[in-house]
Structure 1
């Protein structure tokens, strides 16, 4: 079981932590579009799965860090990526769940931080299906709205009494839940494996190749009405439209070294190969040696259109840039906005709303090679009760390049937005200059060239101690050391020499000077838990964990000499009740989480200078909360599943300085609610099981309370509720049909604001227009599966 020192059987009510299991039938029934979407079934997790099939955010128990920096994503007990929160390279970008997954086990908090790196919030373990232990064949095909087409398959066979082989994977293609006007997602993965297990020795090896590109959905234009309610903007459907469009699929991008082609249709394109070896050797009846290793090679390309600032009218935009154009082109009498491709004037009726918005065409290329190994010696013995101990060593070596370029463009506000040019005209209407070039306000508005190597070594020790028939004590500690090395090339602005435009006056490029990155950090984490199991059906537990969170290598990409990064102490306490009966079960866990001395960086894009501006404050956070999960077989065919998280996530000792009228003003935001985390999340799933279990009809009601897009809590994201429906029918013993409809009511629910506007203070609701990322509109998928 995930999160334990040994493999010895143990019931859920005997655990000193909370675990969520998702079996193969549930996986098939829900058919999540993304890894993050699957995590919505785990209490305590706040999931933003509106980025598409990859590049989403997961938070747990009020932990104030994004991505996968605090939740470990595992495959067969080994991290998919040791540091899941690398900048622009979340773990979910290189992981896809398919028919080779047998089940999922998620540990919420608990001992995760002792056994796994970067896992204070928990760990989610995807356990793969093998031909030896789960032989058989499955084939499924899925069709859905928006041109969704997918095929999954698995074939596993026992070719000798102790030897099995398997082959499986998927291929998928679709036009996008938001219509970009080109193929949004295309690709798949293939896994081949072999396993030997004679009960004494177990050895398996598999190779997995992922070649998949998925679109990255980003914030869309919206507006507040006079009551503060959120609505779409005329000419742009916030449920189904995106600013990404065909006009930005192939864009020539001027750089100091020549033209570069920017291809928006590449999205997040991962070409990655994983080689995994797992082994276990029994050393007597109560001892074993376990070894796991994984080599990863390949690269990820991320091309995206990142909207910036706020939508505004064309007249307001021209007013903001007119002084700049007048200074650059003295003969200018008037200014005008035109379409970059046709030269036709942009008029109030051109796009149905007369609004324009800025955007960054960002390209990041990240080749990465990583080797992860874990060796664990387990032993059981009797002394003042029974002990099952584990002594382990984990090693990781990762080498990563980070090449980032960006250009800033002006767009009209519409689905599949078009680039706009801003020109200066003389009194006779002749063009004398331009702010832009081919829609670019600034070429080379960002440049990064980084090569980094991160080496981690960790030792851990854990003891599961059965003190008495009904009492267990779990103890564990982890010491970890990280060494970060590499270099960052500096940048310099260069004028490419076109006198007719301002777009190429300050193109950032490498200056040839490499600043070294050299950092070392070490920290000790520990945990202690106790379980009281008075009867087999009931368990009570309590646990306290103290974690030393080590800085990530990507935190030094842009600032190799930064001094504000240090070990962050995290204290987590939890107490729970687990009850399992024949017709119902309940899990209730109270928790408290405290982060101390955590750096918060306001990474804000300044539209006036077309560059990012950073500032950092050191602060604390604290969260108290309650997780509930339950299932009940009600009278007749009715079943009910409920999960809920109630929490109070707050900033502590948090202040920052802003300039007001050119003077510094200090703002204290202590006590404010953590950004984007709701105080209440509820998921209620009633279902009908008919025809002796061969037909299941279910509904899923989801509600999230209000959240905030910034730390100052000036921009409120309203509460919202979703309705999903599913039907699962067993046509025969080997053929099943699943139909799933999501967001049936087309609810406009916002999961985040616009991070490019900054995280400290985005300016509240002073403007009726803003950017945010909503839930997807209504979608339908149908799956036909055959198994043997």
Structure 2
């Protein structure tokens, strides 16, 4: 660890740790203890309506009702999650207004887009009890969102803020998803849950909490799971689990809580598949790759040899196994302290993570190609390499040297290539937050002021190798070799080698370390009863230091194959890089409650996102500080169990980086670039509501309409931006939402609940020029549960009518020119109809 990083970390740790014991020793007992922000208050505030149990802490100086805050926020309790019964964390977030998800990548590695934010994962910052597990949104092929945060019975509730004060209470945040963990209390409680699925899912969750002495409590829980997967690739898709535990001590004026977490989990990544023949898009490929269960993941990719030359010119190799998937291992420890000192509320949080991420995935690249045309494209190169006596090229199963021939005409008549990506990263992240909050009266109303400092130091290593494989067009495809034959049928050489079309076309290696410090302040001014104005500012300073190893193209020298002709090799150089970005974010909002049931609010915010740390471990990165101005106007109504929250929003990015790098089928690298820098604007409305006209029926729902479009783009390489300006932003839907009806009644001594989920996503486009569309789709899910004493039995079904719908497209190649068709023929389809049985017992 570098000296300056150690100093920054020590300073942050000292601020957070020393504040708790020193203050505890010198404080006078307060008249009332502070609210524990990790668990809801035992009794709701008097006079509350729908917010009676909806106490929120995220984005707020202190715990308060949802109805009273001047920003859009949802709180999902364990009971809410039980009825939603999500397949993944992203699936859960998709029920929240303003968040569009593509939950088709598997249990993790999915896409979330926050309204108004035209980018994958949408600057959605995940926290656990108010701190991130890793400071940045993305690491090296892992995201610090659902990639590190896994929902289980140790999650008391999830609070999701969109816009509002998010930029003040987290770095690079257009939204925050805060996972509030279970804390122990004076009454022991526990729960165990078994989930079985018809996709080969076996999962066990458990949680236990309770007292361990006077004013001391514990909680521990986690899950173990194995899952064949929604798209079975010949090996389990998910295997592993996590455990979380904490100890909490109530003090005379607050509490201190110590937490620990360990995750060791494998998750296979589902990537796009071809669904139609590019030679004739009206011809389905469903006989070869089933729309709902097909995958390009395959047992043929469990022993992939990756060859390359190192910086010293020596031949190196590694063997990778696709079934390892995305293997996340990390340990996190955290300390959370809160205390009230005669009205001065002190909060100190410190957390650290150390882990390793290994990533193996088979990425889609180009569309399938006619097998004869594909072979013909390599005939000249084969004759140049193996001699003029090469009469023809033919296919065989990989590694058989022609002994096991493959004739594509007996199947689809197509072949295709894909890219095996292997990545290794060690990472660490330490972050701490210290704040003081104080209420005080003035001649005009009451102020609630919070000032704080947040610091972090973090880093990761980077070691990546990509290479292209040749495969047949079918689910769980076998790898192929393309061989050069003489007129007599003798094998003279091979375009490929053991299924490898191009060895190690991408090779990246480097490391980066970062330190940052942020100062923030927020004032909530209650001018009169019902009228509040709040304003906040956050300024951040970063320091990045890293290195990258440049590469060049080399021929590894194997005269029997073309597969090693365009391999990337390290040059032996080391590129040292530094960067010191800074950003300042601010927000101003006003809230007016006309009555106890009606209110309105407005807000303006500026969000600046610095270049991420990875720019100093990359070769020739695009370095752009993104800046967005956000406007919000909200209306809210609450009557007992019925409520309606509507927020109009307008977000303008300037500058906005719409640059893309696409896969080049000649080199096998993402070296086709189209740099567009300009503006993006998104305006729309999100609505979140609940109607419960009778005790036994309720309808929950969320709807978002938006108009995401590019504006004033500029290009320095001769491309015409007029063909892009005004277009709908890639993969952003204009209309999406869900409705969730439920019927609850008693049947004897049993409590019965029947619930449904209707979801829709509007039309999207895969490319900048809006040439290829992904049509809108609708899905229906349903479930039922029976509670009998401490036992609960639940059955849930998703996509009951096998609705067709595509997500993502094929982002490696189609972002520039589409897919050559009006509607997408390559993408990540929805999962087919599936069911889960959940049995739980609480005590």
TM range, normalised to the smaller chain?
A: over 0.9
TM-fit CA distance, 1:143: 0.4
Determine the structure 2 residue equivalent to 1:623: 682
**Structure 1 position 44, deviation (Å):** 0.5
Task: Tell me, yes or no, if structure 1 residue 2 matches structure 2 residue 62.
Answer: no
Q: Deviations over 1:609-657 (max 9, x none)?
A: 2122134221210011000111111346322112100000000112547
CA distance change for structure 1 residues 313 and 133 in 2, over 3 Å: closer, same or farther? farther
Distance 1:230 1:158, change over 3 A: farther
Q: Secondary structure at the match of 2:658?
A: strand
Range with bigger deviation, 630-639 or 218-227: 218-227
Higher share of residues assigned strand: 1
Q: Partner of 2:676: helix, strand, or coil?
A: strand
Aligned to 1:58: 112
Partner of 1:548: 608
* Conservation of the 8 A alpha-carbon contact between 1:657 and 1:666: no
- Could you tell me how far 1:770 is from its partner in structure 2? 3.9
Q: Tell me if the contact between 2:545 and 2:616 (Cα under 8 Å) persists in the aligned partners.
A: no
Q: Which 5+ residue runs of structure 2 have no aligned equivalent? A: 1-55, 310-314
2:371 corresponds to: 314
TM-score by structure 2 length? 0.89
Match status 1:363 vs 2:426: no
Residue 111 (structure 1) aligned with residue 165 (structure 2)? yes
- Partner residue of 2:798? 742
Provide the residue aligned with 1:151 in structure 2. Answer: 204
CA deviation map 1:580-635 (0-9, x unaligned): 10242101110001111122231211112212213422121001100011111134
Select which of 333, 342, 345 maps to 2:391: 333
1:670 aligns with 2:697: no
Matching residue of 2:256: 203
Counterpart position of 1:610: 668
2:811 to 755, 762, 783: 755
Q: Deviations over 1:259-294 (max 9, x none)?
A: 31111001000010001111112111x211111111
The whole-number CA distance in structure 2 between the counterparts of 1:538 and 1:725 is 33
What's the secondary structure of 1:745's corresponding residue?
A: coil
Measure how far apart 1:744 and its partner are. Answer: 0.8
Contact map agreement 2:634 2:646 (CA 8 A) in 1 = yes
* 8 A contact 1:656–1:668 mirrored in 2: no
SS in 1 for 2:90: helix
Does 1:495 pair with 2:555? yes
d(CA) in 1 for partners of 2:265, 2:293: 23
Task: Give the deviation of 1:132 after TM superposition.
Answer: 2.5
Q: Quick one: structure 1 residues 769 and 15, their matched pair in 2 at CA, closer, same or farther if it must change by over 3 Å? A: closer
Is 1:30 aligned with 2:88? no
- Confirm or deny: 8 A CA contact 1:13 1:536 kept in the other structure: no
**Residue number in structure 1 paired with 2:705:** 646
Contact 2:399 2:497 in 1 (8 A): no
The corresponding residue for 2:760 is: 703
Stretches of structure 1 that go unaligned for 5 or more consecutive residues are: none
Say yes or no: does 1:775 pair with 2:835.
no
- Aligned: 1:690 with 2:745: yes
The answer to whether residue 485 in structure 2 is matched with residue 430 in structure 1 is no
Aligned length: 775
The equivalences for 1:532-571 within 5 A come to: 532-560=592-620, 562=621, 564-571=622-629
Instruction: Answer yes or no: is the 8 Å Cα contact 2:554–2:565 preserved in 1.
Output: yes
What is the CA-CA distance between 1:133 and the residue it aligns to?
Answer: 6.5
Residue in 2 aligned with 1:78?
131
Partner SS for 1:113: helix
1:472 is aligned to: 532
- The answer to whether 1:88 aligns with 2:141 is yes
Does the CA-based 8 Å contact 1:392-1:459 persist in structure 2?
yes
User: Contact 2:546–2:616 at 8 Å: present in 1 too?
Assistant: no
Q: 1:460 to 1:769 in 2, by over 3 A?
A: closer
CA 1:706/1:228 → structure 2, altered by over 3 Å: closer, same or farther? farther
- Compute the displacement of 1:667 (Å): 5.4
The whole-number CA distance in structure 2 between the counterparts of 1:512 and 1:667 is 43
Change (3 A) 1:531 1:783: same
Q: Give distance in 2, aligned partners of 1:359 and 1:225.
A: 16
Are positions 1:244 and 2:297 aligned together? yes
Deviating above 6 A after TM superposition, structure 1's stretches of 4 or more consecutive aligned residues are 224-230
Secondary structure of the structure 1 residue equivalent to 2:249: strand
Distance 2:506 2:278 in 1: 35
Give, in whole Å, the separation in 2 of the partners of 1:72 and 1:540: 26
Measure, in 2, the Cα distance between the counterparts of 1:4 and 1:599.
Answer: 28
1:282 match = 340
Distance 1:549 1:105, change over 3 A: same
Aligned-residue offset at 1:112: 0.3
Conserved 8 A contact 2:278-2:825: no
Q: CA deviation at 1:784?
A: 0.6
Provide closer, same or farther for how the CA distance between residues 637 and 349 of structure 1 changes in structure 2, counting only shifts above 3 A: farther
Task: Tell me if the contact between 1:634 and 1:640 (Cα under 8 Å) persists in the aligned partners.
Answer: no
1:5 and 1:464 in contact (8 A); partners too: no
Cα displacement string for residues 126-156 of structure 1 (whole angstroms, at most 9, x for unaligned residues): 1000123774111010000121000000111
How far the C-alpha of 1:726 sits from its partner, in A, is 1.2
Normalised by the size of structure 1, how large is the TM-score? 0.95
Shift of 1:678: 0.8
**SS in structure 1 opposite 2:377?**
helix
Deviation at 1:167, TM superposition (A): 1.4
- Choose from 237, 242, 246 the match for 1:189: 242
Q: Per the alignment, do residues 141 and 244 of structure 1 end up closer, same or farther by CA in structure 2, a change over 3 Å counting? A: same
Q: Which secondary structure state, in structure 2, belongs to the residue aligned with residue 79 of structure 1?
A: coil
> Do structure 1's residue 720 and structure 2's residue 769 form an aligned pair?
no
What is the SS of the residue equivalent to 2:365? strand
Separation (CA, whole Å) in 2 of partners of 1:79 and 1:133: 28
Match of 2:355 among 298, 301, 313: 298
CA distance in 2 between counterparts of 1:50 and 1:230 reads 24
RMSD: 2.0
- Note if 1:413 corresponds to 2:467: no
Are 1:30 and 1:740, in contact at CA under 8 Å, matched by a contact in 2? no
Which residue number in structure 2 is paired with residue 679 of structure 1?
Answer: 734
Q: Residue in 2 aligned with 1:398?
A: 458
Provide the C-alpha distance between the structure 2 equivalents of 1:769 and 1:79, rounded to a whole number of angstroms: 37
Q: How far 1:496 moved relative to its partner?
A: 2.4
**Which position in structure 1 is the counterpart of 2:40?**
none
- Which residue matches 1:508? 568
Q: Is the 8 A contact 1:399 1:452 kept in 2?
A: yes
Name 2:439's counterpart in structure 1: 380
Q: Measure how far apart 1:29 and its partner are.
A: 2.9
